[in-house]
Chain A
């Protein structure tokens, strides 16, 4: 997950970047035989799992070897663009989604995959949307995951306090009050020290239940703006939760917040599906699952924000395109999606998988009712992004120093400098 590791590695980034830059000099040797496919990824934490997946592929496909190379996320984008510019890139590159993909498409570094990877037809548009070129609408990468967002909760705490999964917003607040009375932090969240992206995700969890699933299309068509009362109401609802956030909320960062949840000190965590694997890895004894944030009416369909995390694309200057296309075909297959879900616990890009992990199964159920993660899918295309304003001002909004209306107006003013609605 790109956002996740950028911030977790913020401090390590500079050091890692230097190391990676040095490594880069030696690792871009052209493939020896045309059957070795070089693949670059920023998911350093997935190294072992990815190796196992491609070992299985190599065993079944004689003649093709996949050489996976990892660069820490903080440095990845710069390393990749420098390498592609110098014609020394990999055969297959992991690519960011939406606006961050476009510079590579515009520069002509990538091949469109619509015809060469037929399996793409079996993927939902939520997955493919992040890999499309903005001007030609072609697909430039094989997506691997569609993360969504929700309320992670500690099942042991809920059982001990006699709390059921809340059906309405009122139930949710009542549950928080009961937890607070019992001396348990109801919701762990925090965005200090440059980790405010976590609070943006909080708005992604709460938002769709307030502004509704059709709001994204209205925004894209120019029929609504961030100053719309529905979006302001979503921000307000997020700020309303402040009494249930950790003590000293303004000074709590993402890492501390996750530790509060993982350590059982907090009952809930507003987060993205990519937390599933890391929560499990950090505390295998933690019994947790996820539910969608409730709305005011019981029985209303509950919507969650979802987005495409990224994709794997074919580099135009690759010397072994035929083999690389075969590898991409495998990465688009149901078989890969199944292994991906089993190994990593993330929602894969394809839905035709059998999920063994109950948390992941619940997530995939939730993502049936999803709406695009507004600030990322819709407005992270040019600078200043809506996200940059939201991340900057959200702590002050929750603390009551900035009115939600002002934050919404600042977001709108920022994106209005470049955003053109679809006609």
Chain B
């Protein structure tokens, strides 16, 4: 009896100690994460003049967000982010899966190719953007190569064309991060027991059948992780647009994203650095936070349900 009580009091002390040990980290977290988050939420209910909160405005910043002139920018940016997400899902994660599968089938040299695919991911998106800006400029290497192959004639102006610019940026982003799905999918494939694939082979399944019916369902946790990460990254897309097309998402806002729009509202557009609308910016930030949190939660649930246990 006494022994038990002592044990439980020891446990309680330990728990108390644990809280004490967590406190510093919690304080830092509260100060640098929760406090700014709460402040920006709070600030989105106010009218701002420069850097000062002037007057309580209720939900007027939020309603302003959806009407002219902000509405067109908001919906445009939302559409570009969505297109970006699906583009990344197909061209980065989809092709990445194919590469991973090929590397898995052909074990020889897999490690080498994996590092080749991963190489661009060690570069900052700012450097990658500057690099591709040079390659895709008129008179650049891409123009020279395409003209040499007879696929294109004259000057290459894909980044200055409002119909092609967004696609180019998505392609550059996919190129930048292609190594990540390759890395995660090959790791996932290696974790699947080799016996399963052998059994399938004995039953006469081909490579395509094994990928679709065995590897894909068993890769669900990896697919879920990647999809969620891609969702968060594409909806926070900023650096590549900023470096390659400027903060306005030129030409004609065709590459504008939610975060470049946020940046313009909070820090000012090109040639008008001091003219800001911080209330509207914080309302947009709050919206973005909601989109990301709800989207992420829904995705995690969705993939959790589809995870297969063997």
A contact set with B: CB distance below 8 Å: 2-3, 6-7, 10-11, 14, 73, 76-78, 81-82, 85, 96, 99-104, 106-107, 191-197, 200, 246-253, 256, 376, 380-385, 387-388, 391-393, 395-396, 399, 401-402, 413-414, 417
B139: which A residues are within 8 A, CB to CB?
248
**Is A388 touching B269 in the complex (CB atoms < 8 A)?**
yes
What 9 pairs between A and B have smallest CB-CB spacing?
A194-B246, A248-B138, A248-B155, A250-B160, A100-B274, A103-B50, A251-B157, A250-B157, A251-B160
Contacts of A383 in B (CB 8 A): 264-265, 268-269, 272, 275-277
B136 touches A392 (CB 8 A): no
Q: Which residues of A contact B137 (CB under 8 A)?
A: 192, 248, 251-253, 256
Q: B138, A252: Cβ atoms under 8 Å?
A: yes
Given A247-B154, A395-B251: A385 and B272 within 8 A (CB)? yes
Complex CA gap A104/B269 in Å reads 18
B160–A192 CB distance below 8 A: yes
Give the distance in Å from the alpha carbon of A381 to the alpha carbon of B269 in the complex. 12
Separation of A106 and B50 alpha carbons in the complex (Å): 9
Q: A192-B159, A193-B245 are in contact. Are A103 and B270 (CB under 8 A)?
A: no
CB-CB contacts of B195-213 with A at 8 A, as 1s and 0s?
0000000000000000000
**Which residues of chain A are near B158, meaning CB under 8 Å?**
251
Size category, B interface: 35 or more
The answer on a CB contact under 8 Å between A197 and B245 is: no
Residue of B nearest to A253 (CB): B137
Chosen A-B contacts, 21 in total, with CB atoms closer than 8 Å, are: A6-B273, A11-B130, A14-B126, A100-B275, A103-B276, A107-B49, A192-B160, A193-B133, A193-B159, A194-B247, A200-B271, A247-B154, A248-B156, A251-B161, A380-B272, A383-B275, A383-B276, A385-B269, A387-B270, A391-B248, A401-B252
Pairwise interchain contact B160-A392, C-beta atoms closer than 8 A: no
Instruction: Report B223-251 CB contacts with A as 1/0, cut-off 8 Å.
Output: 00000000000000000001111111111
Please, which residues of chain B bring their CB within 8 A of the CB of A106? 49-50
Query: Most chain-B Cβ atoms within 10 A of its Cβ — which of A3, A11, A376?
Result: A11
On chain B, the residues within 8 Å of A3 by CB distance are 271
CB distance B157 to A417 under 8 Å?
no
Given contacts A85-B51, A103-B50, contact A194 B275 (CB under 8 A): no
Chain B neighbourhood of A103, CB < 8 A: 49-51, 274, 276
B7 in contact (CB, < 8 A): no
Chain A residues with CB under 8 Å of B50's CB are 81, 103-104, 106-107
Interchain CB contact under 8 A, B246 and A101: no
Contact among B49, B245, B248 with A388 in the assembled complex (CB-CB below 8 Å)? B248
Please name all residues of chain A whose beta carbon is closer than 8 Å to the beta carbon of B126 when the two chains form the complex: 11, 14
Assess the B69–A194 pair: CB atoms within 8 A: no
Q: B51, A99: Cβ atoms under 8 Å?
A: no
CA distance A385 to B269 in the complex (A): 9
For window 106-133 of chain B, which residues contact chain A by CB distance below 8 Å? 126, 130, 133
B296 within 8 A of A: no
Main secondary structure, interface of A, reads helix
Q: B: which residues have CB within 8 A of A?
A: 49-52, 68-69, 126, 130, 133, 136-139, 143, 154-162, 242-253, 264-265, 267-277
Q: Which of B133, B162, B242, B248 has a CB less than 8 Å from the CB of A401?
A: B162
Check B251 against A7 for contact (C-beta < 8 Å): no
Say whether B270 contacts A248, CB under 8 Å.
no
Once the chains are docked, how many angstroms separate the CA of A6 from the CA of B270?
8
Q: Are B275 and A385 in contact (CB under 8 A)?
A: yes
With contacts A249-B160, A385-B269 taken as known, whether A391 is within 8 angstroms of B250 at the C-beta atoms is yes
**CB-CB < 8 A to B159: which residues of A?**
192-193, 251
Q: What A residues does B162 contact at CB under 8 A?
A: 395-396, 401
What chain B residues lie within 8 Å of A391 (beta carbons)?
A: 248, 250, 270-271
Report the Cα distance A103→B274, complex, angstroms: 8
A110 to B: closest C-beta gap in Å? 12
CB proximity of B244 to chain A, nearest CB, Å: 6
A247-B154, A380-B272 known; A395-B160 Cβ under 8 A: yes
Whether B268 contacts A247 by the Cβ 8 Å rule is: no
Complex: A196 Cα to B157 Cα, angstroms = 15
Closest to A190 in B: B160
Pick from B245, B252, B273: contact of A194, CB below 8 A.
Answer: B245
CB distance from A367 to the nearest CB of B (A): 21
**Given contacts A194-B248, A251-B158, are A417 and B275 in contact (CB under 8 A)?**
no
Assess whether B250 is in contact with A196, with CB atoms less than 8 Å apart. Answer: yes
| Chain B contacts for A196, CB-based, 8 A | 246, 248, 250-251, 270
List of B residues within 8 angstroms of A96 by Cβ? 273-274
**Cβ–Cβ contact B243 & A11, under 8 A:** yes
A413–B265 Cα distance when bound, in Å, is 18
Question: Are A78's CB and B270's CB within 8 A?
Answer: no
Identity of the chain A residue whose Cβ is nearest the Cβ of B243 in the assembled complex: A11
Q: Give chain A residues whose Cβ lies under 8 Å from the Cβ of B245.
A: 193-194
Q: Is the CB of B246 within 8 A of A195?
A: yes
The answer to whether B274 and A251 have CB atoms under 8 Å apart is no
